[in-house]
Structure 1
Amino acid sequence: MKTFSEVLLAALISDAVVALLLGLLLKSRTERIAHEIRTQYEQLATTFRSRFSWKEKALAELLAPLHMQLNRTERAFRRYAAGNLYLEARILKEGNEAIRNLLIEKGYLIPLELLPDADRLIEHYDIWLEEFARVRDAAQPDLATPFVFVGPQGYPFPRAAADRFQQLYQQLWREVYGPAS
């Protein structure tokens, strides 16, 4: 017959083995969960960095220059006075070309939902520039030559499309740089 101390020792060894096995199982499970969390975190961080990088690039290369040119041409259009050929030929033409070229050259930075708006703007600027070339380049313009305006003749400025680009510019600016102070 076993003595009490032998039974106690066997129970302690048995409990120690069970505790060791449970500890190893829990450690393995904890390590697996920690690895899964690290992997998920890294995936989320990569996605965040990628989206943030796209936002910065879209702002710097497309939306900020587009914003400035849209504002510039809008101000020029509001100031237009009959016979101001410089305003029309320099500011509006340069601005309209710059906007069209930005949309074409930086199309990869345009979100899918704004592609139809980009198409409308490009079409408008193409028509305006064609008309400008017809009116201004074909003849020697003078103060009597009418302002190049394609709205009533066929394709008015797509204001809503321009506004959506301006809204995206403001939204991304706040997301990247924070609210204006």
Structure 2
Amino acid sequence: MDEMLRILLTAILSGTVVSAIVGLVFKRKTEFITAEIKDEFERNMIRLKTGQQWKEKALTELYGPLNYHFTRTKKALGRYTDKNIYLEVNVFKDSNEKIRNLLLEKSYLIYPELTDDADELITHYDVWLEQYDKLRVNPEPDEVAATFVFVQNLGFPFPRAAEEKFKNMYRKLWTEVYES
């Protein structure tokens, strides 16, 4: 009986030690896996939050202002009649400079697929501002009679497709940021 009791106690103690060691190993492994999952979740949340913040920044600092300047100049063009200096100075020149400057200063917010369109817009506005300066700020006497500062005949028509792409990106970002 003593022998049996000793074997039983030894088995119980051995089983307890083995199960404690196995439990400890599994606990550590579970804690390690839990920590990895938590870290991955936090990294994904940071990525998601950062992406959302980038979209909000792009929307508020670039695409939103561009959209309204495009709309402003388009509406002003519809109201433009014979040589309206007020519209040229206070709407076209102002918005054209602001659009060009936004594209140059906030270029890091431009989606890669829009860089060629941004280049077209910048070139158009550079030429328009150059022509404006030539005809309105420092005009030659025979050029003063020009009724409007156009650069289409100089080979730089307004890139409507580029404008539309930026407006579409504005609408897409607005929907992603504010309707999700």
TM-score (norm 1): 0.88
The count of residues paired between Structure 1 and Structure 2 equals: 179
Conserved 8 A contact 1:59-1:173: yes
Structure 1 SS opposite 2:81: coil
CA deviations on 1:113-132 (whole Å, 9 max, x unpaired) are 22221111100000111111
**Structure 1 residues 85 and 142 mapped into 2: Cα distance closer, same or farther (>3 Å)?**
farther
Could you tell me which runs of 5 or more consecutive residues in structure 2 were left unpaired when the two chains were aligned.
none
In structure 2, the partner of 1:107 is 107
Conserved 8 A contact 1:73-1:95: yes
1:46 counterpart letter in structure 2:
I
1:166 counterpart letter in structure 2:
K
Conserved 8 A contact 2:135-2:144: no
Give distance in 2, aligned partners of 1:127 and 1:56. 31
Instruction: Detail structure 1 runs of 4+ shifted over 3 Å in the superposition.
Output: 139-144
In structure 2, the partner of 1:163 is 164
In structure 1, the partner of 2:60 is 60
Could you tell me which runs of 5 or more consecutive residues in structure 1 were left unpaired when the two chains were aligned.
none
Task: Give how far 1:151 is off.
Answer: 1.7
**Two-structure CA RMSD over aligned residues (Å):** 2.3
1:14-163 equivalent positions in 2, closer than 5 A: 14-139=14-139, 145-163=146-164
- Is 1:172 the counterpart of 2:173? The answer is yes
Conserved 8 A contact 1:150-1:156: yes
CA deviations on 1:81-116 (whole Å, 9 max, x unpaired) are 223232223211111111011111111222222222
TM-score (norm 2): 0.88
